[in-house]
Structure 1
Amino acid sequence: MNCNTTQLPYVATGSFSKIVTDYLQQSPSIRPFYQYEPTLQGIKDAILQRQQLPQHRGVLTTALKQQYTGIDTHEAVTNNMALLDKENTFTITTAHQPAIFTGHLYFIYKTLHTVRLAAQLKQDLPQYNFVPVFWIGSEDADLDELGNIWLSGDKLVWDTKQTGAVGRMNTKGLETLVHRIEGELSIQPHGKELVQLLKDCYLNSNDVQTATFKLLNALFGEYGLIVLLPDQADLKRIMLPVFEDDLFNQTPSSIVEKTIERLGENYKVQANPRAINLFYLEGGIRERIEKQGEEWVVVGQDIRFTAASLKQELQEHPERFSPNVILRGIYQETLLPNIAFIGGGGETAYWLELKELLAHYKVSYPVLVLRNSFLIVEEKWEEKIEKLGFGIGDFFQTEQQLLTSLVTRHSNGHLKLENELQAAEELYKRLREKAGHIDETLVPHIEALEIKTLKPLQELEKKMLRAEKKKYENEQHQINAIKAALFPAGGLQERVENFLPYYALWGPAFIRCIYNASLALEQEFVIVHQK
């Protein structure tokens, strides 16, 4: 599999929010909301701060050894786990919920960005070790988002009635989807090995988080990726002071609300805190905790606590308390010797709300690195694009913009009335000047005549363009077909498609291709020319 690449500035794609593009361009309006620039110097500064703060390496490595028990572990993973005990080792982290079969392509991209950045930093800063970590957000309860994938234009949905944390759900019912995938992809060169991998991971695991753990380990173990399941009592115990402060004092919400008030002056806020930012997690329950009078209640459940019983529950069962998006980051940064977080646009946006929160609890704030984004373009589509006289970057425009550009190009500008409009504007300019010398009250009359003259000319130009477009029906169909293939559902490919068809066709070479194409700190959109 040959993978040549070209790059585009993110802003040129028109597919990313203002808060993200301003962050990438280091806009002064957003600078107060993060601590370090996403540069090598920013990494160095983050290391210096992390060295001065408490470490939980023993707790971390003990948990990892337990989690990897019985898992076929690559030597690169074993070596990286050993490195985590060393004071000069730091982590590069990404995080995602346990979407079935990885969900969307960007799941793969953010993972490979993490291992790529860790490898690059080891070259740039050889005095340190850098370990890539995938933090599985297994406590997420949004099954509507996590329980489906798109395959060949069809939405495959996991039919289950389970509730609560998706990671804790058993995998019953996924065999139907695996069978559907097998029927479509097993004929591909690597289809059978892919289907066997899915069966090994999903049909031989008790729950979704274990299946996701196994799949990540199988796909990325050779790159040394450490997969971490934070839904564990011994790990959450280190968060008891923060959890207790949240439950009894609502400190986190008061801090983040002040940040949001400032951030919201210029940007759309990504995540709003609640008075209490913890869920109660038990069995099929993951529901918010609210304070009502002198008691704490689990919303929608017959579960209530007094102050004393809540403190006892927290001490005896920390695994039953699940941090929401406001507290998840501080949990991650407390547990890991982390210096950089790789996330998508939404994740980057909510991390910009957390700087003061982490500072309050004396927890290090990571370098925020926007995850790599890719557009994979097969050779056949590239050839069609070239025949139309476009470049791939042009196809980030709408179909109508592309067609207008093509028609205008072929008509050599004959459809534009720029000269005529300019001549008319010059004529009325002279008329206004003459009339003004005679009688100033005539000027508004001249201006009204100008509007009446120019508007029909502008409408005529549009009609000429529409008439000419009708002559290009074949080209319009080609443009529509290319857009549908490269931008499914009108959005970025990575936000809709799944990695399965690519892996079935190319096997591990697909992973290697994306790894080689991955940028470290360059922060640009990458087009992969697939041949």
Structure 2
Amino acid sequence: MLDCIAYQETNYFSPLIIDYLNKNKKLDIFYNRFPDLINFQKQIEEKKKNYKAEHRKILVQELQEQYKNLPVSKKVETNIRALEKDNTFTITTGHQLNLFTGPLYFLYKIISTINLAEELSVKYPLQNFVPVYWMATEDHDFAEINFFNYRDNKISWDIDSSGAVGELKTERFDQVIQSFQSVLGDSENAQYLINLFKKAYAQHKTLADATRYIVLELFQDTGLVILDANSKKLKETFIPHIEDEVFNQTAYEQVEQTSQQLQEANYRTQVNPRGINLFYLKPNIRERILYEDGKFKVNNTVFEFTESQIRKEIKEHPERFSPNVIMRPLYQETLLPNLCYIGGGGELAYWFQLKSYFKSQQVTFPMLLLRNSAIIVSEKQQRKRQELNLDFTDLFLPQNELVKQKTKQLSAIQIDFSSQKEFLKKQFGDLYKLANDTDKSFRGAVAAQEQKQINGLMHLEKRLLKAQKRKLKESLERIMQLQNALFPQKSLQERQLNFAQFYEENGELLIKRLQNELKPLDLRFKIITLPY
């Protein structure tokens, strides 16, 4: 069973994203083309003209090197080879290297990417479309990725870390494996999960390798290509943009200007550009590059360069220059023959700040697609929802509002005093006429008395609502329990829970159902019912 709810009705998406989905004209200047199926033709034509053929060759060589010792499916092998051809384009998503994939929406991003590539292959059979997962191996915020939630348990990997997370050694994992295993059941699916976890983190040397293994295992037959762009060969393609950023600092000027335009249109900006939007990367080091006192300095280190020295460093060691959130999208679109980036609301928000910067660098700005969002509901939960006479739009309400609405619906007594308030206003209308006909100073006393009476009715209404809540306590608690189960921590399920919770109950059916039911160009929030 599949159902949907408009993003506009969920109360979980920003005004910026809602206006984008509504194709609000004031956002037109911040993106290239809206992700309608028909618009991909023009995006293909533009990208084809503006993508360097030599980048294809370098990309394919690097992918073949990264996959050299991995079990590669026929479909992945075919997709990598296809990237050499000028009629092959990518659909890309990116994500951090969260422990055991982290939040559930990690799967939604990848499946959205796979499904869009397949949909485009049907629409445009003369082109090839390759889904790509860009691993955020250069990220350094370990605290964001070192855990995942399984049911009511937080499974975490607690070590001291520095530098790029992709290079972290997967050591001291015995305790993490034990923690996860202790909360799993003993079913066949539970055994699969713990074996996948052990093989990923005990048999691979780095976090990047472990993450690649998990994604390969979960999506081995889809043709998904996994890319680690932290590579000297790949960054050589980005040298002109690194040099421009270091010496001209174009990004700051362009992104600041666009950010100001967004703010003037009453939107919040997601990121703030720096003077130089690059980090310096070495083992256990990823620190900002600063320009101070005529020299280029690496923050919190002894490294510093003159202009000639840093030019030499860029030319000889481009792998040591790591783009931040402002420049990473440009690196991706320079390197890949990419048509569309698929991301969450927060990601799209910072992409909207980048269009003019892309134009200054003469790089095609990709189409931006909001990833699928979904809530997974069991058949048992669906039955409970129906028994409680709840629509899914009800469950998306803030809990206090939900309880208030359902109390009024379930109450045998009318709690809404609107008619009494209207009657009161009519009665005071006569007093106002009297005040106008006699002493107008009397009007203030009438107004004060009217407000006092209205406040009294409002107080009685609240007292009655509170009394009815007590009377209907059992039914309301069932409603709250269901909402709490579906919206853990009063947040979207996809942001809090890990796929393992659902895989243990449903096995391979989970991935298959998501692949069948997540439609990337159907811009609605999905409600997916599974048997467990």
TM-score range, shorter chain: over 0.9
After superposition, what is the alpha-carbon deviation per residue over 1:29-78, rounded to whole angstroms, capped at 9, x for unaligned?
22211110121132222111101113211111111000001100111111
The residue identity in structure 2 corresponding to 1:181 is F
Shift in Å at residue 391 of structure 1? 2.0
1:385 is matched with 385
Q: Does 1:375 align with 2:375?
A: yes
The residue identity in structure 1 corresponding to 2:73 is H
After superposition, what is the alpha-carbon deviation per residue over 1:417-465, rounded to whole angstroms, capped at 9, x for unaligned?
1211110011122332343244544433322221111111111111111
Contact 2:254–2:357, Cα closer than 8 Å, also in 1:
yes
The counterpart of 2:42, out of the listed 45, 53, 64, is 45
The residue identity in structure 1 corresponding to 2:19 is D
2:427 is matched with 427
After superposition, what is the alpha-carbon deviation per residue over 1:241-267, rounded to whole angstroms, capped at 9, x for unaligned?
111111111111111111111112211
The residue identity in structure 1 corresponding to 2:2 is T
Point out where structure 1 has 5 or more consecutive residues left out of the alignment: none
Structure 2: how far apart are the matches of 1:47 and 1:174? 45
Structure 1: how far apart are the matches of 2:226 and 2:154? 28
Q: Does 1:21 align with 2:18?
A: yes
- The alignment partner of 1:66 has SS state of helix
1:273 is matched with 273
Structure 1: how far apart are the matches of 2:183 and 2:119? 38
Contact 1:186–1:195, Cα closer than 8 Å, also in 2:
no
Structure 2: how far apart are the matches of 1:452 and 1:191? 63
How big is the alpha-carbon RMSD for the aligned residues of Structure 1 and Structure 2? 1.4
Structure 1: how far apart are the matches of 2:289 and 2:512? 44
Contact 2:167–2:208, Cα closer than 8 Å, also in 1:
yes
2:146 is matched with 147
Contact 1:382–1:392, Cα closer than 8 Å, also in 2:
no
Greater Cα shift, 107-116 or 517-526: 517-526
The residue identity in structure 2 corresponding to 1:271 is V
2:396 is matched with 396
Contact 1:136–1:229, Cα closer than 8 Å, also in 2:
yes
Structure 1: how far apart are the matches of 2:251 and 2:138? 20
Q: Does 1:293 align with 2:293?
A: yes
Structure 1: how far apart are the matches of 2:309 and 2:203? 38
2:107 is matched with 108
Contact 1:112–1:514, Cα closer than 8 Å, also in 2:
yes
Structure 2: how far apart are the matches of 1:186 and 1:200? 19
Shift in Å at residue 505 of structure 1? 2.5
1:168-207 to structure 2, matched below 5 A, reads 168-207=167-206
Structure 1: how far apart are the matches of 2:331 and 2:51? 13
Structure 2: how far apart are the matches of 1:313 and 1:188? 54
Contact 2:105–2:495, Cα closer than 8 Å, also in 1:
yes
1:89 is matched with 88
The residue identity in structure 2 corresponding to 1:49 is E
Contact 2:406–2:476, Cα closer than 8 Å, also in 1:
no
Shift in Å at residue 400 of structure 1? 2.2
- The alignment partner of 1:309 has SS state of helix
Structure 2: how far apart are the matches of 1:279 and 1:443? 69
State the TM-score, normalizing by the size of structure 2. Answer: 0.97
Contact 1:120–1:520, Cα closer than 8 Å, also in 2:
no
Instruction: Tell me the number of residue pairs that the alignment of Structure 1 and Structure 2 aligns.
Output: 528
After superposition, what is the alpha-carbon deviation per residue over 1:164-201, rounded to whole angstroms, capped at 9, x for unaligned?
11111011123322222223325133121222222222
The residue identity in structure 2 corresponding to 1:99 is N
2:247 is matched with 248
Structure 2: how far apart are the matches of 1:228 and 1:267? 33
Contact 1:42–1:367, Cα closer than 8 Å, also in 2:
no
Structure 1: how far apart are the matches of 2:365 and 2:507? 37
Structure 2: how far apart are the matches of 1:374 and 1:512? 15
1:79 is matched with 78
